[in-house]
Amino acid sequence: MGREDAVVKQVVAKYNNDKTRLMDIITDVQHELGCISDDTIRCIASQLQISSVDVEGVVTFYHFFTKTPRGRYTVYLNNSAVALMKGRTAIAKAFEEAAGCRFGSITSDGTIGLYDTSCIGMNDQEPAAIINGVVFTNLTTQKVKDMVAGMKAGKNVQDMVTEFGDGANQSEFIRSMVKNNIMRKGPVLFAPYEMGSSLKAALSKKPEDVIDEIKLGNLRGRGGAGFPTGMKWDFCRKSEGAKKFVVCNADEGEPGTFKDRVILTEIPHMLFEGMAIAGYAVGASEGILYLRAEYQYMKKYLEKILGDMREKNLLGKNILGKGFDFDIRIQMGAGAYVCGEESALIESAEGRRGEPRNRPPFPVQKGYLGYPTTVNNVETFCCVVRIMLEGGEWFKKMGTAQSAGTKLLSVSGDCSNPGIYEVEFGTTVQTLLEMVGGRTAKAVQIGGPSGTCIGKKDFGRRICYDDLATGGSIIIIGPDRDLFEIVHNFMDFFVEESCGWCVPCRAGNVILKERLEKIMSGKASMKDMEELESWCKIIKSMSRCGLGQTSPNPIYTTIQNFRDLYEAKVRKDVDYVTTFDLMAAVQESCKAAGRIPKVEEH
């Protein structure tokens, strides 16, 4: 108890006894103690003068927090659909054999823990894993053997990274093997730009004029939902509040998206500059970058960039001598897809379970700590920077009527050139497939699992808000893939990531997954399929936030676009099939009671 007490006291003091920094407190304490036991929970609660339940609620909500030790080396192996396509199963087996424990457990000596994790934003270099915060990509069974041998020998994890990726991945502050894979540069994000020039241009305008310029450019949120950015800022500016906040949503958790990873690696100063412009426009002096835990390997580097910008007076007090104050802190997440939803993200940044809030009030009215807050996507802030330099008119000339500018796409799956592509909105799927070397695709998942799965007949459709909306995740599914396995993987993901607050999403996703499994097993009737479709509609319309409103999409859109695949699996000779097996269902209780199951007379 002694060491625990001391660690907790020290960490809590570091965050000024501030309970809204619970995420950081738990992260730091876990870093020291390896896990957050019940005793530690009580310790933290009493130090912060909050209830143990509040602390435990947070500890158990996030994937990377744990109440029991997960090994001195904790391996989180990505289990996204693309990881599976790229041979994840063999890699998992190699880890288990070399380490001597199964996934979901630790070795008997407590050295190595093996755990699954949802998409870590490395779909262009799978299979990939995070070990003690360090990312390992393009894993092979041989690499796994070497790594496990290294862990058993007590090697430093960072020292196991022998080759570095390109660009800033080589920076002494990152030193990561992650590759950028920038395959196509466009005029908005990856054109040359001089740090500070955009902020200078913005500060020479009135805040209202900054917002008008964004409105003129018809900029819409790049996270996928496409809310007009200028309108959001306008609402936030006009909301009453003693303070206001600018939050950058860098929690890109949609499986298959990794574009923010590359922006954060290569043009973070552009992002931070965009946040400062937002601060100026809405009247905020504080910004928060909510960074997903999977990208922790970039944190030191991003802190360095923030430091550089403060030195250049692009952040801090009296920016560029214009009397405008603005600074940014980084808030780490801890592994929860739902925190990509803006109100859940705010809850999390305030040190609570990442459960979405009721709206209204919207974050622009009552957001972080109850103050008006604008939450925008990483890419959106970068677009703002370019609009300040080139103007809204210039920006609007690109793309389509409803979708101005370019979009950064994360392309992965069955194609020869996975990576990121900056393309104009309105690009057809067919054009993209030719660009990325994925002509043979039989299906394309647009917008990740929560988006749309389309087949060949729809490859002429366009990527934009008015047709196929996407936050950037494009997964290409080749001709030999079993579509059901991919859909099933997506449903696994949603069952895992549902926050559990509302019943339609918590229970509904399980129902969807079980019904899908019934279809996959060939035991379903047409009635099952009809019910599956109506469940999709119920869950979409009844769920509280975007997670449940989109989680049926993998099933819903594949039924629409690949109905023949489903019908081939469904029995048409009967209207009802049960999967119930009495003999199997009584095994466990009979064993516990020491009796032999007899089911004949039933």
Partner 1 sequence: MSKPVVATASLAGCFGCHMSILDIDERILKLIELVEFNKSPIDDIKTFTKQCDVGLIEGGCCNSENVENLRLFRKNCKILIAVGECAIMGGLPAMRNGIPVKECLEEAYLKCPTVDDNIIPNDDELPMILDRVYPLHEIVKIDYYLPGCPPRADLIWEALVALLSGKELQLPYEVVKFD
> What residue ranges bind partner 1 (CB under 8 A)?
575-576, 578-580, 582, 584-595, 597-599, 601-602
Nearest distance from residue 499's CB to partner 1, in Å?
Answer: 17
Query: Which of 18, 588 has the CB closer to partner 1?
Result: 588
Q: In the 8-state DSSP scheme, what is residue 54?
A: H
Contact 72, 31 (CB under 8 A): no
Query: Which of 329, 598 has the CB closer to partner 1?
Result: 598
Q: Which of 490, 503, 555, 493 is nearest to 524 (CA)?
A: 555
Nearest distance from residue 581's CB to partner 1, in Å?
Answer: 10
Q: Which two tokens stand for residue 385?
A: 């920077």
d(CA 64, CA 419) in angstroms, rounded, equals 27
Query: Which of 13, 583 has the CB closer to partner 1?
Result: 583
Distances (CA, A) of 111 to 37, 100, 101, 117, 158: 18, 11, 11, 19, 16
Nearest distance from residue 592's CB to partner 1, in Å?
Answer: 4
Q: Which of 145, 135, 130, 127 is nearest to 87 (CA)?
A: 127
Exposed e or buried b for every residue in 380-391, given b needs 16+ CB within 10 A? bbbbbbbbbbbe
Nearest distance from residue 587's CB to partner 1, in Å?
Answer: 7
- Count each helix (H run) and each strand (E run) in the chain, helices first: 24, 16
Nearest distance from residue 258's CB to partner 1, in Å?
Answer: 35
Query: Which of 231, 538 has the CB closer to partner 1?
Result: 538
Pairing assessment for the beta strands 134-136 and 129-131 based on DSSP bridges: antiparallel
Query: Which of 3, 572 has the CB closer to partner 1?
Result: 572
Query: Which of 10, 534 has the CB closer to partner 1?
Result: 534
Contact 200, 189 (CB under 8 A): no
Q: Which of 476, 378, 432 is nearest to 123 (CA)?
A: 476
Nearest distance from residue 48's CB to partner 1, in Å?
Answer: 30
**DSSP code per residue over 83-145:** HHHTTHHHHHHHHHHHHTS-TTEE-TTSSEEEEEES--S-GGG-S-EEETTEEE-S--HHHHH
Nearest distance from residue 59's CB to partner 1, in Å?
Answer: 19
Query: Which of 568, 593 has the CB closer to partner 1?
Result: 593
Query: Which of 1, 592 has the CB closer to partner 1?
Result: 592
Q: Which residues pair with 326 in a beta bridge?
A: 316
Which residues are CB-neighbours of 498 under 8 A, at least 6 positions away? 338, 505, 506, 509, 547, 548, 551
Exposed e or buried b for every residue in 328-340, given b needs 16+ CB within 10 A? bebbbbbbbbbbb
Which residues are CB-neighbours of 180 under 8 A, at least 6 positions away? 165, 166, 167, 169, 262, 265, 266, 419, 420
Query: Which of 249, 525 has the CB closer to partner 1?
Result: 525
Query: Which of 389, 577 has the CB closer to partner 1?
Result: 577
Nearest distance from residue 552's CB to partner 1, in Å?
Answer: 19
Nearest distance from residue 539's CB to partner 1, in Å?
Answer: 16
Distances (CA, A) of 560 to 370, 384, 430, 564: 42, 37, 20, 9
Query: Which of 39, 514 has the CB closer to partner 1?
Result: 514
Query: Which of 154, 580 has the CB closer to partner 1?
Result: 580
Q: Which two tokens stand for residue 288?
A: 């928060």
d(CA 343, CA 347) in angstroms, rounded, equals 6
Nearest distance from residue 583's CB to partner 1, in Å?
Answer: 10
Pairing assessment for the beta strands 473-477 and 286-291 based on DSSP bridges: unpaired
d(CA 169, CA 175) in angstroms, rounded, equals 6
Nearest distance from residue 598's CB to partner 1, in Å?
Answer: 7
Nearest distance from residue 343's CB to partner 1, in Å?
Answer: 24
Q: Of how many residues is the chain composed?
A: 602
CB burial of residue 358 (10 Å; 0-12, 13-18, 19+): exposed
Determine the residue type at 587: Q
Nearest distance from residue 135's CB to partner 1, in Å?
Answer: 35
Query: Which of 202, 570 has the CB closer to partner 1?
Result: 570
